A and B are shown apart, each in its own frame.
Chain A
């Protein structure tokens, strides 16, 4: 930081990061992958005459830090355009944060992790299940952020996670069933005790049986009907059609060339009707066990909880200090970087669909004819986050208020605000579940963010399902 300021930077921050990741994957009763990766380095971000510069190097020593600061400064000085970057004011922060945990996931012997995966795989065995996969993972990120404004914060964040998949096939039909979600299971911020809580081996027999049963299930018919999304699918809906469009850098167009922009404009704040009155979305970087939980974001802004959508009306954006200053509201708090070698970007932290009232059964009770959609299988949404299409691993008919036949290859499609307007009930807090995803992509160069979402079962009326090709 001192080197950058000496070279003419008007603002500088530096993040020293040490990251360790471990994963165990077993497949068909064999150890498929056992990796233990560590990476450390420093990333220096500077402002020179209003222009950003960033450089990262995979070393942690004085000369590397100074050289990297000078490279970042040179890049900023060479950058094209009329730069006028200004940052929303934030008090200098000092402090430390460490994930509360009972058992360090790196202290668990690899052989115990392998045994757990193999037990879970054994439980999924079935004649039609051709491939079984089990995975557990652990991550520790230790980072120190200092800035030229006096911020000096240190955080050590642990993640633990796991999941299982069963792939069944027969003839031309291939089906997958997963627990607790697809996409490499789920992760939480915390220790190994949270992996044990997943009960992977206990859930395995059901997962294997359902994968095989899907081969014989009829295809989900096309039409318009009432759908109930499981919490795991509801959080994907929140992620794609609320989380990304409320990222303020997308609203201002700076992701246009890759992830896309947003159908929202800055003027929509406080007035745009995003959905029905049952729709309440909260961004909360203090959620216990959330992958987006911290004491300070990667600009040093303290964690907080804030409304994004209240009773269906847009009340907030996810922002950085720069975009908050552009908007004239807020102070950032959502800036996160993927390791030491990437600039922080506006990212989701923990974004939740707040619970409503009642049980899952009560949600079904007044549905004469509908579909219950469970566990995400595919997702696609346009660059402004309007037109989306999701597929789920499994669907169930709802007839006269009760679950009926299993269906396969279910998809549903819609347009974001029109879809959320059809939300007529969210189940209560007793149904609310938290899921952590580790594959949220954005930025050039690309960055993968780890984010969490919570939701209860959610009911939507008059939804287009079963897209026909």
Chain B
């Protein structure tokens, strides 16, 4: 039993209601953040948040605290909230006990990393930066998530995660790389920096291009970010039942190129494997798009109950910080193609642009699946099937139906892209995606050049 489950059970004893559930989300993390090759914002966090949900007469109240000595007070606040709430006829009750699939995702070496190690590994990344200043971080954490409820449900899991982010930059040049894993031994900070510096070295003297529709090769960083932003309204049940999703009235229809197959697979040991969601429902693989056909979205217990019609939770109840968005995919799995490299994808499109990563996306039209944002830290022209001169940062405004509508190819190799921006409580998640070629990527403006 983890410390977190022990705490959850203690809190459950303090709860008074028809039903009660306690979630403990504990974190011990370190971020050695650096800029201009100097660690300037090193942050260590040690915390355990305890969230209690009490049900009385069909009414649900929530409260949370990080005061382990304040469990009676927590129970009082949650009970008061339940007393003053209104009954919700759709409330499906708390999750029943379940058998969970054994998953990996905890690495003792990663869990044990302390500030000296985090600073040392940041230093390894910095030392490889050569002529460039290095901006980014090394981070690692141990996260514990535990649930105990009056239904008899008991669940606990320890997750580790580590990431190296390297932005190699100087005036007029910048390149980006980030690698992540639940095992620190998978990461080579110097190699991450070398990927960034080799990209940065090719971005000097960036040129502008005319706005218009271009074919494009998108690196995994860019693909993951597009999927993440597309998912907010389109791949979760809340956007779906509230009619904001691109998938509304399209389930079962061919919406994208047949090469596009997307799942959410929290059980995959190559991602950040998780055995249960934040309600204690077992995680499972969910098919979202199969050979271009829209198959479904992800659900939690509440959205499934509200929708009725045979829907059930797919194990995607969100952490507290995301409850506003409802259930969302957190383990994207985009099927690979057969291209040997991004160079082969460039050959396939012949003429277009090459995009390393994206910045500051926004949703222009949720139902239409239209996103905007900027390219950044490695944008190039593709001419005659080869990656050619560097470009300034480009504003794109793209319907996802276009981006994924005609996909000449995807790479065989995939990478796990970190999607956790480290807000709120630690919750590692990522996207396992290949590079992707598209025939349509709308550029609607130009911005500043690469670099500082």
Contact = CB atoms under 8 A, between A and B. Distances in A.
B42 A76 contact: yes
A140 B36 CA distance: 37
Contacts of A173: 367
B44 A389 contact: no
A114 B244 CA distance: 25
A169 B243 contact: yes
Interface in B353-395: 359-368, 370, 372-374, 376, 393, 395
Contact of B364 (A114, A184, A378): A378
Contacts of B89: 30
Contact of A30 (B43, B48, B86, B422): B86
B85 interface: yes
Nearest to A73: B115
A94 interface: no
B37 interface: yes
Contact of A261 (B81, B127, B402, B452): B452
Interface string A378-412: 11111110110101000000000000000001010
A378 B363 contact: yes
A129 to B, nearest CB: 11
A387 B395 contact: yes
Contact of B447 (A34, A37, A378, A384): A384
Interface in B270-306: none
- Interface magnitude class on chain A: 35 or more
B342 interface: no
Nearest to B440: A469
A178 to B, nearest CB: 14
A56 interface: yes
- Of B115, B126, B135, B174, the most chain A CB neighbours within 10 A belong to B115
A460 to B, nearest CB: 17
A36 interface: yes
B341 to A, nearest CB: 27
A89 interface: no
A34 B38 contact: no
A54 B32 contact: no
B405 interface: no
B41 interface: yes
Interface in B66-101: 66-67, 77-78, 80-81, 84-86, 88-90
Given A57-B46, A389-B362, A79 B448 contact: no
Nearest to A130: B243
A55 B44 contact: yes
A74 B119 CA distance: 10
A75 B62 CA distance: 36
Given A34-B61, A114-B85, A409-B365, A341 B45 contact: yes
A380 B362 contact: yes
Interface residues of B, number: 95
A62 to B, nearest CB: 14
Given A78-B116, A446-B422, A257 B35 contact: yes
Given A81-B39, A382-B447, A411-B364, A71 B373 contact: no
Interface stretch (A272-280, A327-335, A363-371, A437-445): A437-445
Contact of B367 (A83, A172, A257): A172
Interface string B132-175: 01011101000000000000000000000000010101000010
Interface in A281-329: none
B109 interface: no
Contact of B45 (A31, A76, A345, A445): A445
Contact of A445 (B80, B123, B395, B422): B422
A218 to B, nearest CB: 15
Given A39-B66, A111-B84, A256-B169, A391 B448 contact: no
A93 interface: no
Counting chain A CB atoms within 10 Å of each CB, the highest count among B136, B366, B446, B452 belongs to B452
Interface string B38-62: 1111111111110000000000111
Contacts of A55: 43-46, 115
A199 B324 CA distance: 23
Given A36-B63, A256-B169, A174 B366 contact: yes
Nearest to B137: A444
B446 A387 contact: yes
Interface string A434-469: 000000010111111000000000000000000111
Given A30-B90, A167-B242, A174-B367, A52 B42 contact: yes
B21 to A, nearest CB: 14
Given A36-B77, A387-B448, A389-B395, A56 B42 contact: no
Given A75-B119, A380-B374, A469-B398, A54 B46 contact: no
A274 to B, nearest CB: 16
A254 interface: yes
A467 to B, nearest CB: 5
A444 B31 contact: yes
A10 interface: no
Q: Which of B30, B32, B65, B88 has the most CB of A within 10 A?
A: B65
Contacts of B423: 441, 445-448
A324 B88 CA distance: 54
B320 interface: yes
Given A39-B49, A378-B372, A445-B423, A387 B242 contact: no
A341 B47 contact: yes
B421 interface: yes
B352 interface: no
A40 interface: yes
B183 interface: no
A122 B78 CA distance: 27
Interface in A53-91: 53-59, 68, 71-72, 74-76, 78-83
B106 interface: no
B374 to A, nearest CB: 4
B30 A36 contact: no
A55 B60 CA distance: 36
A357 interface: no
Contacts of A131: 242-243
B66 to A, nearest CB: 4
B64 A37 contact: yes
Interface string B418-452: 00011110000000000000000010111110001
Contacts of B80: 110
A386 B133 CA distance: 22
B39 A80 contact: yes
A258 B444 CA distance: 23
19 contacts: A37-B320, A40-B67, A58-B49, A68-B44, A75-B115, A75-B118, A76-B42, A80-B123, A110-B84, A130-B242, A254-B35, A254-B36, A256-B169, A260-B360, A409-B365, A444-B165, A446-B423, A468-B444, A469-B364
User: Which 10 A/B pairs are nearest by Cβ-Cβ distance?
Assistant: A81-B38, A387-B447, A446-B423, A78-B119, A58-B47, A445-B422, A79-B39, A382-B447, A80-B123, A174-B367
Interface of A: 25, 30-31, 33-41, 51-59, 68, 71-72, 74-76, 78-83, 109-111, 114, 118, 130-131, 167, 169, 172-174, 184, 253-258, 260-261, 263, 341-343, 345, 378-384, 386-387, 389, 391, 409, 411, 413, 415, 441, 443-448, 467-469
Given A34-B61, A172-B368, A345-B41, 13 more contacts: A31-B60, A34-B62, A75-B115, A76-B42, A80-B32, A184-B324, A257-B135, A261-B452, A391-B362, A445-B43, A445-B45, A469-B370, A469-B402
